[in-house]
Amino acid sequence: VCPDKPGLVALFSGFVSSHQGNILHADQHLDRRHGLFLTRLEWALEGFSIPQADIHTQFQPIAQSVGAVWNLDFSNQEKRVAVFVSKTDHCLRDLIWKVHNGELPCQIALVVSNHEQCRAFVEREKIRFVCIPVHAENRRTQEHVQLALVQEERVNLIVLARYMQILSPEFVALAPPTVNIHHSFLPAFAGAQAYEQAYQRGVKLIGATAHYVSDQLDGGPIIAQNTATVSHRDELEDFKRKGRSIERDVLTHATRAHLLHRVLVYKNRTVVFD
């Protein structure tokens, strides 16, 4: 992400081509309102003349010359995920299944829960499960325990798969990137009991939102959303039944986009290159 000006595409792609790199994907977006250029380049390392360990150092002067905020990631480096969950397991089960069938390029290294309900299923899948009960009086202590586990397992990404606890700003600041699934079409019905809020309001659409966690409740940059229709015939349980399907799909889509480094975050919003 950098201020827009002529020649940026040639500058960035020229770095790759001048070192015998083969560009596989090139995406860009211009935010005219803020005058920002956003781009993602993906290239093959086979035949690239700069050793993998030296690419960051070699590209840094180019990025500095245009005031770019950037990062470099490699698909050959293992991605380790921690999933946080409470009692509701439909998103957790979907994530595990999609890791097994290759849709999500990662390893689920750890499942953390504040309840025991998911232990048997998770351990049958040969995944480490740790129950850490959390309440108002022990939240700070337990978050330190959670962060220690995340560090021990070398986790790159936390996914909140219906984890019904609010993370403190201190936890968010120290944790790796964290993706949450919220059971409404944000910014509508933020906070707890979103389906109950929607049902009482008599909405005709319900939705789900996957977003990065920030220090604002349900206020982080949005990665993916989807909706389903409801009507006056639907009871609260129908809202929840329809919503579970949306939650699974939206969370998987957002998690995959993050793992493939297709999400660019700026000004509390995202560009997602599909």
Query: Tokens 């740790």, residue?
Result: 130
The angle formed by the CA atoms of residues 233, 236 and 239, to the nearest 5 degrees, is: 80
Identify which of 120, 115, 114 has the alpha carbon closest to the alpha carbon of residue 93.
120
Matching residue, tokens 């329809």: 242
DSSP 167-227: PPHHHHHHSSPEEEEESSSTTTT-SS-HHHHHHHHT-SEEEEEEEE--SSTT-SPEEEEEE
* Residues annotated as catalytic (active site), given as ranges: 218
54 secondary structure, DSSP code: G
d(CA 124, CA 105): 21
